[in-house]
Every structure is written in structure tokens, then in C-alpha cells.
Amino acid sequence: EAQVTQNPRYLITVTGKKLTVTCSQNMNHEYMSWYRQDPGLGLRQIYYSMNVEVTDKGDVPEGYKVSRKEKRNFPLILESPSPNQTSLYFCASGTMSSGANVLTFGAGSRLTVL
């Protein structure tokens, strides 16, 4: 089944404790992206990647890091989480080959930073 898998789905952590949210896709998509969803703000893009070893900042990259060492994986790293990073995070992948950037989303990772 074609899918984007994120882990963990739920996480409660404390300020300053480094964490990684993993994202993996099995569709051989070139494009991958991370979004955060906050009430009233919709989805805001954190980082995106056009292909292996190519990453770019989205609209809200501060406090986050990403890497794209393999095509299928795009982990989101919070080096020193803070309470304002409490949010619902979505990973997505897509292909631009048809022109439209049609994304497949993961189920989401709900992060709480105390």
C-alpha cells in the first residue's frame, strides 16, 4: 500500500530534550515536506526537499532541522524543543512529474513540549 509513515504518532517531552520524528514513504517520490498544523493557522511549511541531499526552508524553519540522506526518509529534528513547538506535525511526499504537486500525507504526529 502506498503510504507515508510517521513515528511517533504521539509524544510528550520536556523543554530542551532533543527529539526526532521519522518520516518514510514507499512511493519513490522525489519531493518530501514537513508541515505543522495549529488551530486557526492551517498548515505551515517547515522544510521541504526536492531530492536526496537537497533541502530548503519553508515558512517556519526556526528551531527545526531536517536531512535527506535517502530518497524514502525525511526525518524532522528538534534539537532543543520549546513549548511553542507543541503542535501537530505532518510529513508529506509527492512527485512533480505531472506538473501538479500532488501530496500524500502521513497520519500526523502530535507533539507536546512541557
- Does position 43 interact with another protein (CB under 8 A)? The reply is yes
Q: How far is the CB of 20 from another protein (least distance, A)?
A: 19
Query: Closer CB to another protein, residue 1 or residue 42?
Result: 42
Among 22, 61, 108, 112, binds another protein (CB under 8 A): 108
- Does position 27 interact with another protein (CB under 8 A)? The reply is no
Distance CA 74, CA 93 (A): 9
Q: b/e per residue, 33-67, with b = 16+ CB within 10 A? A: bbbbeeeeeeeebbbbbeeeeebeebebbeebebe
* Positions in the binding site for another protein (CB under 8 A): 4, 31, 33, 35, 40-45, 48, 50, 56, 58-59, 90, 92, 96, 99-108
